[in-house]
Amino acid sequence: MEMHHLLRQRSALLRRTRLANVAYAYAELGVFAGRIERGNLRGAVTLHPADTAAGRAWPGLVAEEGSQAVLDEHFLEEELLDLADLLAFATGTEAGRSVAFRLEEFESRFRYPLRQELKGAGIELPGGKPSAADRNRP
């Protein structure tokens, strides 16, 4: 392929890359949403980033309401690292920032906007059953 052909395709390639990343984040956040739903996890939490200066080698999901032990049973440190990256992407914020949210609003807050972006781009999503986020939206 000649370079000028590649450069002419740049905008389309960037758009497809963005959509691939949105699809990946949507799918991976779905795994977390499913775990939250199956575990019947509820309440306010804060996801704090890893901060070696503060003595945190891994991100931490802190229960602001409810049991920290129950929360810890559902998420490994490595998974929280992935979750922190996914939430930074989904919200358009820089990595390394704390994110506070309610577990029962996880899907509607983080997955629903990604779903809308995919649908708006004409991407066909798997499954015929509407998500909880779609059922809760007008």
> In whole angstroms, how far apart are CA 76 and each of 51, 82, 130?
17, 10, 28
Q: Which residues pair with 51 in a beta bridge?
A: 56
What is the Cα gyration radius of the chain? Answer: 17
What is the arithmetic mean of pLDDT over 40-67? 92
Mean of pLDDT over the chain? 90
**Helix, strand, or coil here: 31?**
helix
pLDDT tens digit string along 36-52?
999 999 999 999 988 88
Element (H, E) at 19: helix 10-38
Question: In sequence order, what DSSP letters do the residues of 38-80 get, joined into one string?
Answer: HTT--SEEEEEPPBGGGTBSS-EEEESSS-HHHHHHH--HHHH
